[in-house]
A and B are shown apart, each in its own frame.
Chain A
Amino acid sequence: QSVLTQPPSVSAAPGQKVAISCSGSSSNIGNNYVSWYQQFPGTAPKLLIYDSHKRPSGIPDRFSGSKSGTSATLGITGLQTGDEADYYCETWDSSLSGFVFGTGTKVTVL
């Protein structure tokens, strides 16, 4: 059972925007950076956001990250059919002394 909660699914039309929430606690999101990963079916995950809001080179600025208190959000603007994938948040949990992942969110482009 994951300690980080995400909505199971979000959807929007092409060109629109979506926001994926990730809810945690003071032992994880509240005091640590958050990362986000994108995973297409049958493939390995890929880093999208680290340090809560930074993008690795090659990740378009349509993807953004933010954190407030014990929650984090991944935003995707200008939604494209190629964005249909599962998205996971992740952070370090100081109480567990280990990484924790979110439950995952499936993005559907209508």
Chain B
Amino acid sequence: EVQLVESGGRLVQPGGSLRLSCAATGFSLSSYAMNWVRQAPGKGLEWVSAISGTGGSTYFADSVKGRFTISRDTSKNTLYLQMTSLRVEDTAIYYCVKDGGSYPYYFDRWGLGTLVTVSS
């Protein structure tokens, strides 16, 4: 059974950094693209970043480009999102999402999410 468990969300000050993790079970990260999608309190869904199944291609929303980095450790089957220069508007639940293909395609399975709060 596919499971995605996010961790690392917490309260952080503006300008700070944070690394989110997503432990995946039931499939191999090497076979599927993976994504991070966020949802600000009371707002809609916003795609943040994706990494291909090979790990050779990464994609970012304009709102986080240059500040966020996506990576993975296939030996641990874990996905990461390194967030720097955090802003108040980055406050959201961050979902780890398995893709339906090896390259960005559609959002097949979702984790429960981890809450990131950026506030002074």
| Chain B positions 1-56 with a Cβ under 8 Å from a chain A Cβ | 35, 37, 44-47, 50
Quick check: which of B73-81, B83-91, B103-111 contacts chain A, the rest being far away? Answer: B103-111
Q: Which of B45, B61, B105, B107 is the most central at the interface, judged by chain A CB atoms within 10 Å of its CB?
A: B45
Q: Mark A66-110, 1 if CB is under 8 A from B, else 0.
A: 000000000000000000000010101000111111111000000
A-B residue pairs in contact (CB < 8 Å), sample of 28: A35-B106, A37-B45, A37-B107, A44-B95, A44-B110, A44-B112, A44-B113, A45-B45, A45-B95, A45-B107, A46-B110, A47-B106, A47-B107, A47-B108, A50-B105, A56-B108, A88-B44, A90-B47, A90-B106, A96-B62, A98-B50, A98-B61, A99-B104, A101-B44, A101-B47, A102-B44, A104-B44, A104-B45
Task: Identify the A interface with B (CB < 8 A).
Answer: 2, 33, 35, 37, 39, 44-47, 50-51, 56, 88, 90, 92, 96-104
Q: Which residues of A contact B50 (CB under 8 A)?
A: 98-99
Q: Which residues of A contact B107 (CB under 8 A)?
A: 35, 37, 45, 47, 90
Contact in complex: B35, A99 (CB < 8 Å): yes
Q: Which residues of A contact B45 (CB under 8 A)?
A: 37, 39, 45, 88, 90, 101, 104
Q: Interface majority SS on B: helix, strand, loop or mixed?
A: strand
Q: Which residues of A contact B62 (CB under 8 A)?
A: 96, 98
Query: How long is the Cα–Cα vector from A47 to B113 in the complex, in angstroms?
Result: 16
Q: Which residues of B contact A39 (CB under 8 A)?
A: 45
> Taking the nearest CB of chain B, how far is it from the CB of A69, in angstroms?
20
Query: How long is the Cα–Cα vector from A103 to B45 in the complex, in angstroms?
Result: 8
A88-B45, A99-B35 are known contacts; what are 20 more A-B pairs with Cβ within 8 Å?
A2-B44, A35-B107, A37-B45, A37-B107, A44-B111, A44-B112, A44-B113, A47-B108, A47-B109, A50-B105, A50-B108, A88-B44, A90-B45, A90-B106, A92-B104, A96-B61, A99-B47, A99-B50, A99-B104, A101-B44
Q: Which of A44, A51, A96 is the most central at the interface, judged by chain B CB atoms within 10 Å of its CB?
A: A44
